[in-house]
A = this chain, B = another copy of it.
């Protein structure tokens, strides 16, 4: 292939490879849709007067980070220390590692900080705070820490009304010069579908919990300069973010069928697809067999619990127009079973062996993780660049 490969240089080549020339299955990223999704979120959050910290857990790419970040130095959010190391090596200077810190990872955190990136950690217990404080004192480099607060019972975090725990953790951190504020993630917003009022309420619940926790720290004489909230649905539907200093979101920039089911964006905004080839037919059953199985699409079946079950993905032509009612109905490791939705009156398209399809994913974070690179579509509908993904830990 003659297209340019980059590992963060962000450049695109003038030479373009057509989709027919790629080996399948592979991952396609539509740069124009990516940029439009980012611009829409930035404008929305700017209107609410808060900073935007893109979460790179979906994209896992320095090239995408540079599209999403406000500046080459950040801020940005990561889900693994490997992402942090990669972004830091690429010049990003303001990072939060969003998974509760394990004490055994603090050495690696300090290594990233020593290279010049201001990496902040997240925690929700006194045990973790004591480990951060001890490490901060031992090295003379206070590791900035945010106390995770549980917005909605979704996963982790201190209850926003648990003043005793907030003050205890906050005090341990503050005495080591490490307390930076609070962080929340309204993960339960993922269970809402096509209900702007309920999504706005989820955003308001997240905001109120954040403000309550921040006030609890401040009323105890503890600093809380950072009040960080975020999830793609609540970022999209928040109407007022008074008291919040920054919003994090990630999957919105790439998009997927699950977020479209929630109403975070339209199906047409999805910037990611898997390129597949037809490798067989089972005509009596109405099946078209492709070479994109769950290894290429991921095992994620998130839309199975939404109103519209999209199977393992929506099947489109090379111009990304969905075929009527055509989905990936089932998947084996390297085989996709493409068929009409149950009960559909549409006609199965006549697709020859070797024909190419594009499949929109259920969950961009999961589908992306099955691949080590993006084939980046330029305006011509061909691939003009390769952007590498940073998987693993």
State the A residues within 8 Å of B (CB): 20, 23-26, 57, 79-81, 98-105, 108, 124-125, 127-128, 131, 150, 153, 155-156, 187, 277-282, 285, 289, 291, 294-296, 298-301, 332-335, 337, 352-354, 363, 365-366, 369-372, 391-393
Contacts and interface: CB of A to CB of B under 8 A. Distances in A.
11 contacts: A23-B81, A23-B108, A26-B393, A80-B334, A99-B279, A99-B334, A127-B354, A156-B289, A296-B393, A299-B299, A371-B392
A81 B300 CA distance: 24
A335 B366 contact: no
A93 to B, nearest CB: 23
Nearest to A190: B332
Given A298-B299, A333-B57, A337-B155, A23 B280 contact: no
A156 B369 contact: no
A332 B187 contact: yes
B100 A369 contact: no
Copy count, this protein chain? 2
Given A125-B280, A155-B337, A335-B156, A353 B26 contact: no
Q: Name the 7 nearest CB pairs between A and B, nearest first.
A: A299-B299, A100-B279, A127-B353, A102-B277, A299-B300, A99-B334, A100-B280
Contact of A353 (B103, B301, B370, B393): B103
A131 B280 CA distance: 13
A354 B156 contact: no
A102 B354 contact: yes
A124 B280 contact: yes
A282 B81 CA distance: 24
A124 B25 CA distance: 20
Contacts of A155: 289, 332, 335, 337
B369 A280 contact: no
B99 A291 contact: yes
A333 B125 CA distance: 21
B352 A127 contact: yes
A91 to B, nearest CB: 24
Contacts of A337: 155
Given A108-B23, A298-B299, A352-B127, A291 B334 contact: no
A365 B298 CA distance: 12
A391 B391 CA distance: 12
Contact of A125 (B25, B80, B281): B281
A366 B102 contact: no
Nearest to A148: B280
A295 B79 CA distance: 10
A57 B335 CA distance: 13
A156 B282 contact: yes
A275 B103 CA distance: 16
A289 B124 CA distance: 11
Contacts of A187: 332
B372 A392 contact: yes
Contact of A299 (B98, B99, B366, B392): B366
B105 A393 contact: no
A259 to B, nearest CB: 14
Nearest to A251: B333
